[in-house]
Amino acid sequence: MSASHEAIEQALASIGPVVGQRPRGAARVLGVHLEGPFISPDRLGAQPNAARLGALSELASLRGLAPIRVLTLAPELTGHLDFIRDLRRVGILPQIGHSNGRYEEGVAALAAGAKGFTHLFNAMSELHHRQPGIVGAALAHAEYAEIIPDLLHVHPGAIQVARRAIPKLFCVTDATAGAGMPDGTYRLGSQTVSKCPNGVRLADGTLAGSVLTMDQALRNLVAIGIPLDEAARRISTYPADYLSEWDRGRLQPGAYADIVVLSPDLELMQIFIEGEAIAPLGRVHTAN
């Protein structure tokens, strides 16, 4: 998330060593999504106001610490259409988000090489029939976009709208340190957030990420009427496709055996990570 350059360096220095290797009993980290700091100060959401203009020069030291796969930016900021082109040239996927841009600026960003949208509907200019905003650009033109299906960030009806408009709408949890933890206070970057029954919020009530897990995301999609096979693609295949991870997110010969086994009521029973069976209660053994 948005922070000083030094704080982002520290975060990436911690992530770097675990990318490219997979500890036993753990998932593989594929890289970093920088959700800032190159965002609009008018659409911070729960991020601290460390927003600034984007430049490849700032990324030079960061890219040596950990692989940056995705970067969220506000396309309306000065120089950001050229920045989008620069990012694509060095292999980073630009995503539109935390933006107060106009519809036309969103369309121009897609034409320049932006590929997706960060947590659609949240922290971006809304759809109005005379000012379609960034949401309108996504619904009219996007192939890919993220959405947070905790049924708090986005109404089920809006999820259905996006699902009909965006072929490869895919799910993200936007989960914070409070995910899976008791109600209480947690850190979100430089800020303190509170987990309570109605989500994770700043002191002023602003939503500050979620406590969603991906298995619950699947159940939520099915609960609002999305067929199970489609819901599974939206939490696995489409995000893998977005990152060009063609050997993940699908059950086929030659792909990684990343598999979850669910009960008939979609409760988690077993996990396989690259063929390693992760047993309940943290017990680990290797699948035959």
Active site (catalytic) residues: 174
List strand residue ranges (DSSP E) for 131-264, in order.
144-147, 168-171, 184-188, 191-196, 199-201, 259-262
Q: Residue 197 phi/psi, 5° resolution? A: -60, -25
Which residue in this structure is represented by tokens 């060095």? Answer: 90
Rg (CA), the chain: 19
CA distance 192 to 235: 29
Q: In this structure, which amino acid lies at residue 97?
A: G
Close Cβ partners of 91 (under 8 Å, ≥ 6 residues apart): none
Q: Cβ distance 215 to 179 under 8 Å?
A: no
CA distance 288 to 165: 42
**Of the candidates 138, 146, 110, which has an alpha carbon nearest to the alpha carbon of residue 35?**
146
Q: In what order do the strands lie in the sheet with 259-262?
A: 259-262, 268-273, 276-278, 284-286
Q: Residue 6 phi/psi, 5° resolution? A: -65, -40
Close Cβ partners of 281 (under 8 Å, ≥ 6 residues apart): none
CA distance 69 to 19: 12
List strand residue ranges (DSSP E) for 148-190, in order.
168-171, 184-188
